[in-house]
Chain A
């Protein structure tokens, strides 16, 4: 049988596509599987142009740092902490979008867990902040 996204992720993606807040979804293997239109504005590129991307490639794509511009360890990025720890995480980061614009954002990530303690991925929102 071909692997298909769990229905919880399918329905979350549908919800995310209707929301006006930027949403980012990652599967349990660390693949960025979806972000919505408001997130496209902040990331400077449409999801369809990016396609599924593994977490390892994110820091290269978006040059993520701390908000003071100093280098940030991978595990300081809330989404990746949630992926590793399966717990809600929050933090602030600076990154350069694919449009070349640097932005400071607050990121809140929650683990997506289905029945039977199935860890399905990460659902995260982020919004611009003034530092």
Chain B
């Protein structure tokens, strides 16, 4: 399994000289699996530039949730407009509307000129917590702590595993962190994964005024990772107000709190991780 990051920013896309290294596009992660199967995690603005080979006939997009920074790139993703490509979009189920209906709230006038029915060859799949397979990839999906229904994913191919939690506040629901893993959101998905891509949005100081917004502080991420013990931790969903310099400092603080067994990797656009 080869993982490539195309969009790493959280909340809203940014641009400018201060955000070049950590990137400005929002969530999009490419997974190349055996047989060259293409899976994509989230459809933020980073998905627009994601390269798809002309011979590709199927693409699967797994949405963690439907906040705009995770879906706004969808109508700019070429295969969704190509009738030769079968696109499957997977996302969290709702108690009221289907995934297709909820995506259509964005993909319809007056918010956007292209409608869902204008997309070429797309199927929507409402995902509830549980396991399913796409080809040889086994996928565990579970709701995690973030406002609105939000799924974390763990993708396993043979013995390699990737956990993906771009928006996650593991301290919610707990008096303190770390505490009992059984009562920690996202723990099952992350435990022992080869690679964990995880929300790293706030410094500890910023988090104090953003409790309940659905994101992690540096200390909470370190505590969560130290408990789950992934092999590698890739930071993700960088705050739009953070410059490259700010993020260097955040990473230094995170690294100082992280178990030595975990390799810390800064999530930057173009980063490739082989599992």
Contact, CB under 8 Å: A17 / B175: yes
Q: Which of B140, B188, B191 has the most CB of A within 10 A?
A: B188
CA–CA, A5 and B93, complex, Å: 19
Contact, CB under 8 Å: A118 / B129: yes
Contact, CB under 8 Å: B188 / A3: yes
Contact, CB under 8 Å: B145 / A10: yes
Q: Chain A residues near B92: list those with CB within 8 A.
A: 115
B92 to chain A, nearest CB (A): 8
Chain A 4-28 interface mask (CB, 8 Å, partner B; 1/0): 1111101101100100000000000
Contact, CB under 8 Å: A11 / B145: yes
Interface of chain A residues 73 through 131 with chain B (CB within 8 A)? 114-116, 118
Contact, CB under 8 Å: A1 / B181: no
Number of B interface residues at 8 Å Cβ cutoff, please give it. 27
Q: Which of A4, A8, A114 has the most CB of B within 10 A?
A: A4
Size bracket of the A interface: 10 to 19
Q: Chain A residues near B93: list those with CB within 8 A.
A: 115-116
Contact, CB under 8 Å: A115 / B173: no
CA–CA, A116 and B132, complex, Å: 14
B247 to chain A, nearest CB (A): 28
Contact, CB under 8 Å: A116 / B143: no
Q: Chain A residues near B203: list those with CB within 8 A.
A: none
CA–CA, A7 and B140, complex, Å: 15
Known contacts A10-B173, A10-B183, A116-B128; A2 and B142 CB within 8 A of each other: no
Q: Which of B130, B173, B175, B187 has the most CB of A within 10 A?
A: B173
Closest A residue to B191 by beta carbon equals A2
Q: Chain B residues near A1: list those with CB within 8 A.
A: 140, 154, 188-189, 191
Q: Chain A residues near B174: list those with CB within 8 A.
A: 10, 14
Closest A residue to B150 by beta carbon equals A7
Chain A residues with CB under 8 Å of chain B are 1-8, 10-11, 13-14, 17, 114-116, 118
Known A-B contacts: A6-B129, A11-B145. Give 6 more (CB < 8 A).
A1-B189, A7-B173, A10-B145, A11-B172, A116-B129, A116-B130
* A–B pairs, 21, beta carbons within 8 Å: A1-B154, A1-B188, A1-B191, A2-B191, A4-B142, A4-B182, A4-B184, A4-B188, A5-B182, A6-B142, A7-B144, A7-B145, A10-B173, A10-B174, A11-B145, A13-B173, A14-B172, A115-B92, A115-B95, A116-B93, A118-B128
